[in-house]
Amino acid sequence: MVEKKVTVEELLEKARLPAKKAVKWHPFYRGKVEVMPKCAITSFDDFGVWYTPGVAEPCREIHKDPDKVYEHTNKWNYVAVASDGTRVLGLGDIGPLAGLPVMEGKALLFKYLGGVDAFPIMIDTKDADEFIQAVKWIAPTFGGINLEDISSPKCFYILERLREELDIPVWHDDQQGTAAITLAGIINGLKIVGKKLNEVIFSIIGVGAANVCLIRTLIKAGVPPQNIIAVDSKGILHPNRPDIEELKSKNPYKYEIAMKTNGEGRTGGIAEAIKGADVCVAASKPGPGVIKKEWVAEMADDAIMFAEANPIPEIWPWEAKEAGVRIFGTGRSDFPNQVNNSLGFPGIFRGALDVRAKTITDEMHITAAYAIAKVAEEKGLHENYIVPTMDDWEVFPREAVDVAMKAIEQGVARIKPSRQELWDNAMRIIKTARDKLQFLMKHGLIPEPPPVQ
């Protein structure tokens, strides 16, 4: 638990340290990922095998049987991290060039945590249909597509279209990734407080990419829609809001939420949405003060709250605790119970790729949420530990196997390895990725970063 004696200035200084390092380390390495050979090169004669003339024979094999592309090439492990740079972190619409460091970082996490070969792909258009077409054009190279940092509401449209029109997994981490980790935290938080998922009242603050998907995920996981109260910048969503017809045309995703949630017919703002709620999930704007302490005091006993805005959560942890919240999580690594997407996408894609899945269904990312929750439960749940950290490395192969098995069960897998085969494969690939990096660092091929004052 964060002690109240920590000052805001100290927290902000700590939060600024990664930025100080970033402006020195990024130009030092001139990027975070590179392409390296994975095949043996024993002499220059080998290039006749890996390239012309020998490569023509694999081409013929693939032409006769397209599925052989997964055997002759690295398509089985390639993922495109595709973005238009219109909603980058908390920076907003900074464009494709300025968004590139984020996508490189995502590629780095994919490789180190999941053994996935991911490539940053910045697409220079703000038009949703052009973006979709660009992704479809490059899709033959990849085994999966990770959409990233795309503004709302077009991110929903892009994801829907690409999921329908491509035969490889398409995932939007700001939607499905955040939803999976948040659900994992909710599952374990409810275990601690002794409440059931299908009985509690949810207050959802902010109706952007993360929470639109979370609401859909909660409903598919068994939460009755009427038990969810969602509030955006204009207030609680309900069928009689003055802007409901405008929402129907401009943001059909919010419109759908307004029509099927909020069984009590609540109106008002955050204060009214939170009152009596068992679980509150905020993914709105940086605080503090977005959610007030006196509002939180009106939540149900043994309440759970996730305030996920960065760099400062909507309310400070100690304020929420003083107001009666029993379990509190944020998006920050220096507070307990971090909702960290990096716990999800590397393992989820590992599992999807390992069965050559045609899609990532909602059920697959819900399965991942339960796998993530189970790892933390086995280590010992308590109020300040309800989700694993990235140090809990076993979370990645565990969720990979469960996601792959769910894909097989749902009929979206091209191949059907056994559970043991999936486990052995995931462990080998992830361990190899980490061992290669450690080897390069140990031998000075990747130098130590410069010191930062």
**CA pair distance 39, 159, nearest whole angstrom:** 35
67 Cβ contact list (under 8 Å, min separation 6)? 414
Instruction: Provide the residue type at 131 as one letter.
Output: F
Q: Residue 284, CB half-sphere, CA atoms under 13 Å: how many?
A: 24
Cα separations in angstroms, 60 against 52, 65, 263 = 13, 9, 59
Which neighbouring-strand residues pair with 329?
Answer: 306
What are the DSSP calls for 320-352, one per residue?
A: HHHTTEEEEEES-TTSSSB--GGGTHHHHHHHH
**Tokens encoding 304:** 């759970």
**CA pair distance 107, 146, nearest whole angstrom:** 10
**CA pair distance 447, 449, nearest whole angstrom:** 6
Main-chain dihedrals φ then ψ at residue 383, nearest 5 degrees: -60, -25
The one catalytic residue among 24, 38, 51, 196: 51
- CA angle, residues 304, 391, 402, in degrees to nearest 5: 75
385 an active-site residue?
no
| CB of 319 closer than 8 Å to CB of 293 | yes
**Tokens encoding 187:** 């599952």
Strands 170-172 and 144-147: parallel
64 an active-site residue?
no
**CA pair distance 303, 316, nearest whole angstrom:** 15
Instruction: Provide the residue type at 184 as one letter.
Output: A
The one catalytic residue among 106, 254, 293, 374: 106
Q: Give me the sheet containing 78-83, strands edge to edge.
A: 117-122, 78-83, 144-147, 170-172
> Which positions are annotated as active-site residues?
51, 106
